[in-house]
Amino acid sequence: MTTSMLDAGLGTLGQLETFQAGTEGATTNAIFGSDGKRWRRQESANYKRNLLHLTRLYRGTIEGDRRATVAFQEAMSRSDFTNLFGDIIDRQLLAAYQTRPVQWPSYAKRGRVRDFRSVKRFTLDGGEGVLNQVKELAPYKVRSVTDAAYEYAVAKYGDQIAVSWETMVNDDLDALTELPTRLGNAARRTEEKFAAQLFSGSAGPNSTFFSTANRNVINSTVIGSTVVANPELNVSGLQQAMQVLGQQKDTDGGPIYVEGVTLVVPPALEVAANNIINATEILAATGGGPGTGNDQLRVTNWMRNRVSVVVNPWLPIVNTTSGNTAWYVFANPNVGRPAMELGFLIGHETPELWVKSPNAMRVGGGPVAPEEGDFEHDAIQYRVRMVLGGTLMDPKSSVASTGLKA
């Protein structure tokens, strides 16, 4: 069968507006059009023969050949032609799940490391307290400065996907062309889950990092006995979190200035978080009367300019206790001291995708594409590699609530 014969058959098939197959109608555009339904000429020889035979019968039918008409009707009820058109009309590849862009840089600092050895991030505290008055001929007081360090090491992460050459040939839906993209998405998910696991665990917010001793949890010992411990995410709860963050002090007893913050919430709190941040006005009792009546204040939502929302879908997966209710506030990681850092190996700071070069050569020479597979097994292999690490840093730059009001 030649390509011209096949083109002629397809040309004949295109003359008909519609045809009936059982109780369903199908147009030639629906059969050979786009919208996820494709027919390719790289099908098997048997497939092409069946299609050509069908177009010949159909040409005879529209030309008035009664024998061709009977044969065409019979052919349309046969399983081989049912499968033929079933492949064209019904087979399509569903879209992959949508993947969010990486969001952790909104609340964690990005670091760079030279190798796989442990790296340290040093801090220097002290020396910034209010100056002492010095009397005439009196000596100046000596103030102390202390240092500390945070330590972590990066590690290598990766996986590979191997398929056979036969599988690639049979991939008429081009499904396997997305394999490198899927590996890239896997690397993106790895980053997001790694970041979430730094500050959250199966029992809730990291209890070592978020604690009464660090003064970064919302409870009655931090900002007064009238405050509810671990409040739900609402205007009052977010106000309390901002108060906790604003009351942190450095080693000299001075205030820590916080400008913009990021509110990190699970998907279950996305609506509540965005309603709070995007509200035009807030009815507030704080600074006014007792909470109701004419003494209540109507104020512009000042949080719109200071708080940004990040929805982290990994939180309920990592935190199986309060994953749908816990919420977090992080100070801007690029201003001042960050709450945590994720580090990447210099020169390998993004996911790296690889395909195995075939260890084969054609007789007579000539390049061999990776899609042809290796010499031994006709195997085609894709691989992704990424290198990252990280650690929690200053607890004074973050506040958490389990949302389980107590």
Is the whole model's pTM more than 0.75, yes or no? no
Residues 6+ apart with CB under 8 A from 382: 160, 161, 162, 179, 180, 183, 353, 354, 355, 356
Read off the pLDDT band of 72 (50, 70, 90): low
Widest CA span in the chain: 124
In which region does residue 193 sit, left (phi positive, over 0), alpha (psi from -120 to 50) or beta (all else)? Answer: alpha
Strands 18-21 and 340-345: unpaired
261-265 and 327-331: which strand pairing? antiparallel
> What pLDDT score does 341 carry?
96
Overall average pLDDT of the 365-383 stretch: 83
Asked if residue 37 lies in contact with residue 92, where contact means CB atoms within 8 angstroms, the answer is yes
> 287 or 125: whose pLDDT is higher?
125
The answer to whether the beta carbons of residues 369 and 294 sit under 8 Å apart is: no
Look at residue 281 in the predicted model and tell me its pLDDT. Answer: 84
Instruction: Phi first, then psi: give them for residue 46, nearest 5 degrees.
Output: -65, -40
CA–CA dist 141, 130 (Å, integer) = 12
Q: 334 versus 367: which is more confidently predicted?
A: 334
pLDDT at 365: 78
Q: Position 343: which residue type? A: G
pLDDT of residue 297 exceeding 50: yes
Per DSSP, the three-state class of 40 is: coil
User: Among 405, 242, 227, which residue's Cα sits nearest to residue 330?
Assistant: 242
- Percent of the chain scoring above 90 in pLDDT: 40
* Confidence at residue 359, expressed as pLDDT on a 0 to 100 scale: 82
Mean pLDDT computed over 194-223: 87
Higher-pLDDT residue of 128, 30: 128
What SS3 class is residue 145? strand
Instruction: Report how far apart, in Å, the C-alpha atoms of 112 and of each of 60, 117, 149, 345, 397 are.
Output: 72, 12, 16, 6, 21
The H or E element that residue 53 is part of is helix 45-62
Nearest CA-CA partner of 257 in 151, 146, 356, 397: 397
Which of 103-107, 204-208, 321-325, 378-382 is the least confident region?
Answer: 378-382
Out of 99-103, 109-113, 346-350, pick the least confident.
99-103
pLDDT higher than threshold 90 for residue 282: no
Q: What is the dihedral of CA 224, 229, 231, 236, to 10 degrees?
A: -10
Q: Count of CB atoms within 10 A of residue 209's CB?
A: 20
Contact assessment for residue 316 and residue 324, using Cβ atoms and an 8 Å cutoff: yes
* 69-73, 127-131, 270-274, range with the lowest pLDDT: 69-73
Per-residue pLDDT, averaged over 30-41, amounts to 41
